[in-house]
Structures are given as C-alpha cells and as structure tokens.
C-alpha cells in the first residue's frame, strides 16, 4: 500500500495522514464571547510540569469533593446545601472540563427558567396557583379550628 494523503483500511474507513499513533491538534471549539475557554486554570508553572499538574488535579478534586459532600450533607439539614454543591462544582471547574460543561449547562438552564418566570402569562398562572393553594390551606385551617378549636393535633383525644 502506498502512502497518500489518507490511508484506508479494509472497512473503508479513512485515517488521517501519518497513520496510527500520530497525535493531531484538537479542533478548537468556538466559545461565546461571555464564556471562558474550556481547560485548566492552573498557573503556568504547574501546567509545565506533568507530575506537579497531576498533584494539582488530585488536590483540586479532593477539595471540590469535600465541598460537594458537605453540600450534600447540608441538603436535609439547615444550610445552603445547593449553594455549597455548586461552589464545589465551581472548584472542580477550575481544573476539569466536564465540570465546566456542567456549570455552563446549569447557568443556561437557570437563565432560561428565570426568563420564562418573567413571562407575564407564566407569572399570572403562578399567582393564580399560589392564590388557589392559599385558599385551600385557609379552608382546611378553618375546618380544623371549627372542629377542634385551638388545640395542637397531638393533644386531640378523639
């Protein structure tokens, strides 16, 4: 087989010039103007040393993991659980592309839902649903007070 621009194997697949084992440059992904490019945010002296960069990544992962676990523990307890979880994701996003993509997706969804919540029709519907819910709760409270008076539920002897 002679070497040309591309090489083809028996399955008809085409390989890049250079054959097996060559490393090609990654294709740059267009980044919107308001978003930072994906990749590490480590200082240049850390990025230039492979062992130091691996230690840096392990350290960032452990710190982010601790923060995320604390946030998960805070979910059922008093405290800003989701805020702490997103802080841990932000720590991971300083080093890991997958965390950067998760945060970008979350930011897009939150912005989208915030815009939808500002839609007058959606706001009107939410106000109507809230009012109906409050009226139902008020009616249930009125029935409870009419039947039992001001008595705590655990003190009712019936």
CB 89 within 8 A of CB 103: yes
88, 142: one domain: no
8 A C-beta contact, residue 85 and residue 71? yes
The whole domain housing 51 covers 37-118
CA distances from 134 to 4, 21, 129, 137 (A): 75, 67, 9, 5
3-state secondary structure of 15: strand
pLDDT value of position 148: 78
Residues 59, 107 within the same domain? yes
Does 114 share its domain with 124?
Answer: no
Asked if residue 111 and residue 43 are part of one domain, the reply reads yes
- Say yes or no: 107 and 135 in one domain: no
pLDDT for the residue numbered 11:
45
Tell me, yes or no, whether 82 and 137 share the same domain: no
The answer to whether 81 touches 71, Cβ cutoff 8 Å, is yes
**Domain contains 17:** no
pLDDT at 54: 82
pLDDT < 50: residue spans in the chain: 1-16, 18, 29
Same domain? For 81 and 140 the reply is no
HSE, CB side, 13 Å, CA atoms: give it for residue 82. Answer: 2
* Structural domain contains residue 95: yes
Same domain, 109 and 123: no
For residue 47, being part of any structural domain is answered with yes
Per-residue confidence (pLDDT) for residue 25, from 0 to 100: 57
Confirm whether 127 is domain-assigned.
Answer: yes
Model confidence, pTM: 0.50
Give the pair of three-digit tokens for residue 69. 């676990």
- The model's pLDDT over 59-69, given as tens digits with 9 standing for 90+, comes to 999 999 999 99
113, 128: one domain = no
Q: Is residue 26 part of a domain?
A: no
């Amino acid at each position: 087989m002679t070497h040309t621009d591309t090489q083809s194997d028996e399955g008809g697949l085409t390989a890049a010039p250079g054959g097996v084992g060559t490393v090609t440059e990654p294709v740059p992904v267009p980044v919107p103007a308001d978003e930072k490019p994906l990749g590490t945010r480590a200082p240049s002296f850390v990025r230039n040393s492979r062992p130091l960069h691996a230690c840096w990544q392990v350290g960032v992962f452990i710190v982010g993991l601790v923060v995320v676990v604390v946030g998960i523990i805070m979910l059922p307890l008093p405290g800003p659980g989701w805020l702490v979880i997103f802080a841990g994701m932000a720590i991971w996003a300083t080093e890991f592309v997958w965390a950067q993509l998760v945060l970008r997706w979350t930011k897009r969804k939150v912005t989208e839902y915030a815009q939808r919540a500002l839609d007058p029709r959606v706001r009107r519907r939410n106000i109507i649903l809230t009012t109906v819910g409050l009226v139902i709760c008020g009616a249930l409270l009125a029935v409870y007070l009419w039947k039992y008076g001001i008595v705590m539920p655990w003190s009712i002897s019936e």
